Amino acid sequence: MEARQGRSIEVDFFRGIVLIVIVLDHIPGSALSHVMLHAYALCDSAEVFVFLGGYASAAAYMAVHAHRGASAAKGRFLRRSWEIYRAYLLTALLTLLSGALLAMLHMNPLAADLSGWGPFALHPLRESLNILVLARQPYLSSVLPMYVIFALCVPAAVPFARRAPLFTLAASLLIWVIAPQLAALFSAGHVADWSFNPFAWQLMFVFGMLCRLHPVPADFKASEAARWLVRIAFAAVAAFAAVKLLVLTQPLPGAMKQHLAFSRVVNFIVIAMVAAYFVHRGTIARLAARLPSVVTVGRTGLVCFVGGTLISLAVDTATPHALHGAAAFGAALAGDAVAIGATLMLAHAWRGMAGRQKARVASHAESKRRAGCG
C-alpha cells in the first residue's frame, strides 16, 4: 500500500469500513449485519481492525522517527496509549450511563443487561476500581484495553521487527500458541476473562506491523508464483464461506474469538491476500477516492469507535422490535441507514473541528512570530 505522508488512503478506507461495520454488528436487529464478513467467514471485523492498527502504528512510528527522532516517536506512543486508555474509560462510562438510563426507563432490557449496569449499581466502588485497572470492561469497551498494551509496546516492537522480521514473527507465533496458558497465569488480574486475550491478538497486530515494515517486493507481485497464490487465496475464501454458510451455521464458541483460533487466523490471511490483490490493482484507492467520507471515518478512528457505541445503542433502542416480515426488514434497514449516516456525520464534524483548531494554533504561532520579528 502506498504511503502518503505517513498515511495510506487504502488503510484509512479499510479502517472506515471496519468502524462502520462494528457499529452495525452491535445493532442486534441490523439488516446489513447479515451480509458482513462474519456471515461468510470464520473471522470478523475484529481481525481486520487489529491488523490495520498494527500497520498504521508501524507507519506512524516510522514517520515520527524519520522526522523527529526516536525519543519523539516513543513519546508519541506513550501519549497514544494514554489517549486510548481515556477513550476506554469514556466508553465504559457511556456504556454504564446508557445501561442506567435504559434500566430506569424499562427499555431495551437486553442492552441494559449487557451494559453491566446491574453489577455496577450493586457495588459501585469495587466495580469502578475494576474498570480503572482493566479487570472489568463494560460491553463495547472490551477491545480497547489490549490497544493500550499494544501502543505501549510499539516503541520497542517496531524497531525490533524492522531489524529481525523472521524472529519477530516466530516469537509472535509462539506467544499466540501458548496464549491461553499465559492468560491463565494472569488470572489474578482477570486477563483470563478478557474478551480479547492480548497474548493471542498480538499476532494480528504483529502481522500488520510486518506488512508495513517489510512489504512484498514489486517484482514478486508481478510473478507467476504471486498469481497462483492469489488464485489459491480466492479459492480458500470461497471454501471458508461455504463452510460457514452450510456447515457451521450456529454461533461459534466465544473462546475461538477470545483466544484467536487457528481457523480464524488462516481465514483472515487468505482474505487479506485477496484484499492486497485489489490494493495492488488500484481498485481500493479508486474506491476510496469516490467515498471520501468513509476515509474520514478511518482517520478519526478512536472518536468514531467511542461515538459508535452510543450510535449502535441508540439505533437498537429506537428500532421497533415487534414488527414482522417486510415491515421489520424495512425498519432494520432504516436503522442501519441512520447508524451509517450518524457515523459519517460524527467523523466529518470531528475532522472539521480538529482542522479549525489546528488553523487557530497555526495562526496564533504566526502572529507571535511576526510580533517577534517586529
Model confidence at 189, pLDDT cuts 50, 70, 90, reads very low
Model confidence at 4, pLDDT cuts 50, 70, 90, reads very low
Q: What is the pLDDT of residues 323-341, one digit of tens each?
A: 778 888 898 899 999 999 9
Share the mean pLDDT of the chain.
88
Q: What is the pLDDT of residues 132-172, one digit of tens each?
A: 988 888 887 888 999 999 999 999 999 999 999 999 999 99
| pLDDT at position 366 | 65
| pLDDT at position 362 | 66
Model confidence at 59, pLDDT cuts 50, 70, 90, reads very high
Distance CA 51, CA 271 (A): 12
| pLDDT at position 2 | 39
Model confidence at 183, pLDDT cuts 50, 70, 90, reads confident
| pLDDT at position 26 | 86
- From 148, 132, 138, 141, select the one nearest 202 (Cα to Cα): 148
pTM: 0.89
Model confidence at 253, pLDDT cuts 50, 70, 90, reads confident
| pLDDT at position 176 | 96
Provide mean pLDDT across the span 208-226. Answer: 90
Distance CA 8, CA 5 (A): 8
| pLDDT at position 1 | 41
Long-range contacts of 153-159 (CB under 8 A, 24+ apart): 154/57, 154/58, 154/61, 154/77, 154/80, 155/61, 155/70, 155/73, 155/74, 155/77, 155/78, 157/206, 157/209, 158/57, 158/58, 158/61, 158/62, 158/209, 158/213, 159/70
